[in-house]
A = this chain, B = another copy of it.
Amino acid sequence: MPTIADLNRLDAAGFVQALHGIYEHSPWIPQAAAAQRPFASLAALKLALQDAVSRASQEQQLALLRAHPELAGKAAIAGELTAESRGEQAASSLDRCSPEEYAALHALNAAYAGKFGFPFVLAVKGPTGRGLARREIIATFRRRLANQLPDELREGLRQVHRIAEIRLNVLLDVELAFGPAIMDWAEQLGAISDDAHGLTCAYMTPAHRETAHRLAAWMREAGMEVHIDAVGNVVGRVAGSDPQGKTLLTGSHYDTVRNGGKYDGRLGILLPLAIVKHLQARGERLPFSLEIVGFAEEEGVRFRSTFLGSSALAGRFDPAQLDQIDADGVTMRAALQAGGHDPQAIPAIARDPAQLLGYVEVHIEQGPVLLERGLPLGVVTAIAGSSRYLVELAGLAGHAGTTPMELRRDAAAAAAEIVLLVERRCADGSALVGTVGQLAVPDGSVNVVPGRCRLSLDIRAGSDAVRLAAVRDILDGIASICARRRIDVEVTSLVQAAAVPCAPRLMERLGAAVERAGLPRFDLPSGAGHDAMALAGLTEVAMLFTRCGNGGISHNPLETMTADDADIAARVLLDFLRSLCVREAA
């Protein structure tokens, strides 16, 4: 088995030969990457190969896709696959399709080729590398057939790179130290749900309590001292070598939205757990104490109490929340008591900031930024602040046939201008996003000029100055659109939340660890809220994002990531912890 060092030592022809078969029938890719040697790591090699494809013409990219065989297609039946493709299709038992599955795949192959002009490419070994079920493959095929050409071209190339990643693991005999365990645990937790279908783990439900106990058990197996605190957080602690040393907190939440994803939140608990297990196996101790906290409640599904677990730890628990009721009229207090918790004890779980080194959270990105850049990891600069508004527009309803255009006061036309204003103003390149997520003409009729229209605004940016300037421009724009159109407007502020910056000191350490792994450091703001927001009131925070597959979808069963990404994130976090340990401890 060659190593990266071996590959670096070969001449160009030898390098291309060694990587023969990594990219199906496409030696031009290793040829283009050869000049960039030496590679510091496998991660760096993978990026160089990806870059070769990204820099290629669209014609070459299409040729790369067309070099791939159809799934269970003619070449497979005629035994004309490459050894790699044959192995992959067999690993997903595509050679054992039922007649119905063959028929479905053949129809899909034909429809897909007709729509896109290239074959459907899917890394059938899947996120774990162990192979997808035929049922999953066919569902993915159906879903991607609905894509638009430019998106599907990019997705096809990403699958090609994932296939190459898996083939490189085989070629280089890579043993992932962390990824497989993290993926397995996430799968096991994902099977514990309030619903028969999909994953729902709402605060203090039976599934939630079972998840907490499973986490606690795994933490104990990894040698941690574990307790479940009064609010339901699962806290595992491993003492540092220095008895006077402070404590570094890490973790994330284990509750989910309804029908959510397996990695949102849970990754940030399971990933450091894999590290602790690894340290335990090696007999290695960090000088500072490390606590992994599985926060009980972040999503706010059941009681609208977002960031409940992390807020309580940060000393910001609001006892009034105990009176919140769920959809069945159960109070949070009663739900806690039924779960064996003492609501009175919650304020006491607040931590003393003097004892803390900081808080570091690993989280799946829940967006497409890393995916589109082909990067497994990103360092979070800040958790974006947000401004939310409800905008209600009142014009004058009128008959669609009898009201001349110039006499209209059309509330929907004003809303349309506002939607485009938000889009235009927030597209200026600074890390700013603006969304009109709700838009409706209440009781609209085909033949009535809209007298009313209602829309929501959601403006976010990592920088408060950037966000507030955009909000000001947008609200001014709304006022002038409505004045010109003679529309009465009512704007109600729903949320005004300041951005939470990450600590530069911790960001630098994380970024340095990313670079030591042979990856470029890439910084991005988090548009979504995370437990780190609540903990920023207590101690310095930092976050590491991992790439989110399937176009960046989250809060959805399609949320996905790979064992390889989990693995490199764990290696980076461990390196970060060790870097703290050398330079920061005691």
User: Does B448 lie within 8 Å of A396, measured CB to CB?
Assistant: no
Contacting residue for A412 out of B146, B436, B486, CB 8 A: B436
A 446-499 contacts with B by CB, 8 A: 446-450, 453, 456, 458, 460, 486, 488, 494
CA distance A245 to B417 in the complex (A): 60
User: Does A441 lie within 8 Å of B449, measured CB to CB?
Assistant: no
* Chain B residue at minimal CB-CB distance from A440: B440
1/0 contact string of A530-556 vs chain B (CB within 8 Å): 000000000000000000000111110
User: Does A398 lie within 8 Å of B449, measured CB to CB?
Assistant: no
Check: A386 CB closer than 8 A to any chain B CB.
yes
Residues of B within 8 A of A453 (CB): 439
Contacting residue for A402 out of B403, B423, B488, B527, CB 8 A: B527
User: Does B444 lie within 8 Å of A441, measured CB to CB?
Assistant: no
* Chain B residue at minimal CB-CB distance from A367: B402
Contacting residue for A372 out of B407, B416, B427, B438, CB 8 A: B407
CA distance A388 to B446 in the complex (A): 8
A528 to chain B, nearest CB (A): 5
Number of interface residues of A (CB under 8 A): 69
Contacting residue for A456 out of B398, B444, B554, CB 8 A: B444
The dominant DSSP class at the A interface is mixed
With A403-B368, A446-B456 known as contacts, the answer to whether A420 contacts B413 (CB < 8 A) is: yes
A 109-150 contacts with B by CB, 8 A: 146, 148, 150
Residues of B within 8 A of A398 (CB): 367-368, 552-553
Check: A270 CB closer than 8 A to any chain B CB.
no
User: Does A420 lie within 8 Å of B420, measured CB to CB?
Assistant: yes
A87 to chain B, nearest CB (A): 33
User: Does A423 lie within 8 Å of B410, measured CB to CB?
Assistant: yes
A575 to chain B, nearest CB (A): 26
Check: A526 CB closer than 8 A to any chain B CB.
yes
* Chain B residue at minimal CB-CB distance from A545: B402
Check: A298 CB closer than 8 A to any chain B CB.
no
User: Does B528 lie within 8 Å of A401, measured CB to CB?
Assistant: yes
CA distance A416 to B455 in the complex (A): 12
Residues of B within 8 A of A528 (CB): 399, 401-402
With A405-B423, A405-B427, A552-B398 known as contacts, the answer to whether A439 contacts B450 (CB < 8 A) is: yes
Residues of B within 8 A of A412 (CB): 419, 436-437, 439
User: Does B438 lie within 8 Å of A148, measured CB to CB?
Assistant: no
Contacting residue for A444 out of B146, B426, B437, CB 8 A: B437
With A366-B399, A367-B402, A456-B444 known as contacts, the answer to whether A437 contacts B413 (CB < 8 A) is: no
User: Does A413 lie within 8 Å of B419, measured CB to CB?
Assistant: yes
Within the oligomer, what is the number of copies of this chain? 2
User: Does B448 lie within 8 Å of A399, measured CB to CB?
Assistant: no
Check: A435 CB closer than 8 A to any chain B CB.
yes
CA distance A575 to B123 in the complex (A): 84
User: Does A433 lie within 8 Å of B488, measured CB to CB?
Assistant: no
With A415-B416, A420-B420, A439-B415 known as contacts, the answer to whether A433 contacts B405 (CB < 8 A) is: yes
Residues of B within 8 A of A399 (CB): 366-367, 527-528, 552, 554-555
CA distance A97 to B73 in the complex (A): 88
1/0 contact string of A260-296 vs chain B (CB within 8 Å): 0000000000000000000000000000000000000
Check: A404 CB closer than 8 A to any chain B CB.
yes
Check: A406 CB closer than 8 A to any chain B CB.
yes
1/0 contact string of A376-392 vs chain B (CB within 8 Å): 00000000101010000
Residues of B within 8 A of A151 (CB): 396, 409, 486
The interface centre, meaning the residue of A369, A398, A456 with most chain B CB atoms within 10 A of its CB, is: A398
With A437-B449, A551-B396 known as contacts, the answer to whether A386 contacts B366 (CB < 8 A) is: no
CA distance A453 to B444 in the complex (A): 14
Residues of B within 8 A of A436 (CB): 412-413, 450
Check: A103 CB closer than 8 A to any chain B CB.
no
Residues of B within 8 A of A427 (CB): 405-406
Given contacts A368-B403, A402-B526, A410-B435, 18 further A-B contacts (CB under 8 A): A151-B409, A367-B398, A368-B402, A368-B407, A388-B447, A398-B553, A401-B528, A402-B554, A405-B432, A405-B433, A412-B419, A413-B436, A416-B417, A416-B419, A435-B446, A437-B441, A437-B444, A438-B446
29 pairs from A and B in contact (CB 8 Å cutoff) = A146-B488, A148-B486, A151-B486, A367-B404, A368-B402, A369-B407, A388-B447, A398-B552, A399-B552, A399-B554, A400-B437, A401-B528, A405-B427, A406-B427, A412-B419, A413-B420, A415-B416, A416-B417, A416-B419, A436-B450, A437-B445, A437-B447, A438-B444, A439-B440, A439-B441, A439-B453, A440-B440, A440-B441, A446-B456
* A interface, CB within 8 angstroms of B: 146, 148, 150-151, 365-369, 372, 384, 386, 388, 396, 398-407, 409-410, 412-413, 415-417, 419-420, 423, 426-427, 432-441, 444-450, 453, 456, 458, 460, 486, 488, 494, 526-529, 551-555
